[in-house]
Amino acid sequence: MKKILVYGYGNPGRQDDGMGVILAEMLEQWAKEKGYTNIEVETNYQLNIEDSEIISDKDFVLFVDASMEQIEDIIYSKVTANDSSIEFTMHAVSPSFILDMSNKLYGKTPETYLLHIKGYEWELAEGITEKALVNFDKALEFSKKIILEILEK
């Protein structure tokens, strides 16, 4: 059975920025209800170098994050290993950097994707905005579909 990791990141205390975390938590509940014991969930405010160990024993990894980019609603893209995607000034690393570190440190590069969800508000407040909730719901259903496809492979 394939080992799946859903990793949601962002800050739930900054409105739409919390969508990645909330989506991952909802998928965790869904997986438990369905009896899927091979689906793990991680959440954090940002990705860290240590996450390379977390993904190293997985077959499929789905990173989920809110996006400020000019996208329509959601974007689902394959992550390729790249060691130049680190911003030391923000203490932040990208999914591609985490994947590269997993390969270099553990010799493992799981199939990895990033799901960006279009957000609109980033103020200090909890809760997803009504406008972003439409994108969030689409991302949640899309994520379930992708996970079911991976389980069937």
pLDDT exceeds cutoff 70 at 90: no
Tell me the mean pLDDT in the region 131-151.
98
Extents of the domains making up the chain? 4-152
Write down the pLDDT at residue 82. Answer: 85
pLDDT exceeds cutoff 90 at 88: no
Closest CA to 93 of 147, 56, 102: 102
Tell me the mean pLDDT in the region 4-9.
98
Q: Which fold would CATH assign to domain 4-152?
A: Rossmann fold (3.40.50)
Write down the pLDDT at residue 89. Answer: 42
CA distance 129 to 48: 27
pLDDT tens, 54-87? 999 999 999 999 999 999 999 999 999 986 655 5
Q: What is the mean pLDDT of the chain?
A: 94
Write down the pLDDT at residue 92. Answer: 75
Tell me the mean pLDDT in the region 17-45.
98
The dihedral formed by the CA atoms of 66, 68, 73 and 75, expressed in degrees to the nearest 10: -70
CA distance 97 to 83: 5
Tell me the mean pLDDT in the region 99-117.
97
The structure's pTM equals 0.95
Tell me the mean pLDDT in the region 84-91.
51
Write down the pLDDT at residue 86. Answer: 54
